Structure 1
């Protein structure tokens, strides 16, 4: 039986932390679940944390791009965070540029990227006064 990837809400951002390598069915379920969660929550950002992912194939790479496109159509920006060098190398070797998918090295950087775009310092948990002084 396939387990669903949890989708957590942090203010106006949905966080998907992938903790295991996904098979094709897992990716399709994630795509459906995430689209529904974006619509239900009205979130304006999606962060997909792939820190624990060690292996990707062309299907998973294409699905990351598809998820980002789908989120964009539903008025939410997507950032993929925590990509390992080996995963990046594999994606390049497979010829997958992941066009339209923005990346950040860490979850914090990904949240800050969304914060800058949406102009909301509350996304990353930084108080507005602290963000202004940074």
Structure 2
């Protein structure tokens, strides 16, 4: 089974989904991400789904579950790069992705996490990049 890589950039974990997601890979991602947040103390998670073309209800719920897991570890989650067809499918499936923030691209997602981190005091106000926070 192929695993989704999780990269650490400052206080943010970047999950770039470049493989076809199946139930087993989604479950492995949830477990891997929880372990990485716990081990690194990351305060933000960006899930880049720009390569994802098709979602089903299980994968859609996975985004909400990951956001919930992240919140338990005091980390915010932003999903970036959602294609129009994926957004339409999620709406048609009735999935609201409660608690999941979205952004059009990685840059905007990082900006959202930086603002949230500064508001919560996890990122120093003088750090314009948000990369020095831990």
Give secondary structure in 1 for the equivalent of 2:21: coil
RMSD: 1.1
Moved over 6 A (4+): none
The equivalent of 1:123 in structure 2 is 130
Structure 2 unpaired stretches of 5+: none
Query: Which residue of the partner structure matches residue 39 of structure 1?
Result: 38
The TM-score with structure 2 as length reference comes to 0.90
Query: Could you say what secondary structure the match of 2:87 adopts?
Result: helix
CA drift of 1:47 comes to 0.2
Contact 1:27 1:60 in 2 (8 A): yes
Number of aligned pairs?
Answer: 124
Q: Can you list the C-alpha shifts for 1:55-106, whole angstroms capped at 9, x where unaligned?
A: 0000000011000000001100000000000000000000000011000000
Supply the distance in 2 between the matched residues of 1:89 and 1:103 (Cα, whole angstroms): 14
CA distance, structure 2, for counterparts of residue 5 and residue 77 of structure 1: 19
Which structure has the higher relative contact order (CA within 8 Å, separation 6+)? Answer: 2
Unpaired stretches in structure 1, ≥5 consecutive residues: 126-134
After the TM superposition, which residues 81-96 of structure 1 pair with which residues of structure 2 at under 5 Å, given as runs?
81-96=80-95
